[in-house]
Structure 1
């Protein structure tokens, strides 16, 4: 039985600690950038409970990577392929340095446009992305565009994690072709787990 895993951000230290999986206890530096906000601990734990504790064989994309917390945690949980996409050069360089430090064979850092990356199928998985993490800058109006971009590249049974500063209701998501499977609010963070199957009202 694998140990229960999650990521914890060391408050005020500019570091992310992986506390489970193959890189358990690794402490990774986070680039300093205004507005960079790793997903809160409680939300992160809940998300990986939703997804399952073992992501073996899955292809994942963290399209607006930032600290890389979600992508590194997915890779630590044995995802087959994880793509971290970050537009900011300094932040992308820190992500690359962290990947090299971990000698991560299942993780690739790419500097570029998250929307464009979402619209491209993973080279390693012809069926599409199994898990897409969508956590764009708040108030950036990128959420709707990101959900549109991933529609044609998500695997048939794939899931999308959407983090936002507001709640997306089940009817709102259904109007865009998405089904809301799970929802959590933690302070100002609204976390949603989605898929494309049937687009019926979820929890």
Structure 2
């Protein structure tokens, strides 16, 4: 699986008009990408009491980087670039080669959800291989059992055009709502996960999306 996360601001200060264009036109174009498997869009939320550095974010997944490259050669690209240049700015892009741990098979277009995107390094005092093994066997084993978790995707960050790789891994967790996410992390499994995060995760950057499913 190939994962892309982008974030951006709007060109103008008329947020209402920009939102209408984005959701009504830009997203409609992006939905037409051939081979697009999952697509989330959302307004970025405060994290740890801090305001986000961008207004919106979007997550797209393809079966592979080859499928993503093919999509970027489709006839969707010229009008999408035109709209991007007219309406979006401050774009950042992060890509990863990953896998689905918990599939969101019951999702439907325009379904509301809460999405957390985390980028991080692993504690490697015992070596890189041991860190990977522990993360994949223990950490993801706890996280996948969180109550109310709808979708869980993990991946290794990779260099991509327009991207800036500063960390090793990415994880995406999707819940029905912010309240469901908070309840999951307040549960016994959530507390266990937080303990393991303290032992396993380093240099984390977390983003939160008040999101909806597009595909």
Higher radius of gyration, 1 or 2: 2
Q: TM-score, normalised by structure 2?
A: 0.28
**Highest relative contact order (Cα 8 Å, sep 6+), 1 or 2?**
2
More strand by percentage: 2
More helix by percentage: 2
Q: TM-score, normalised by structure 1?
A: 0.29
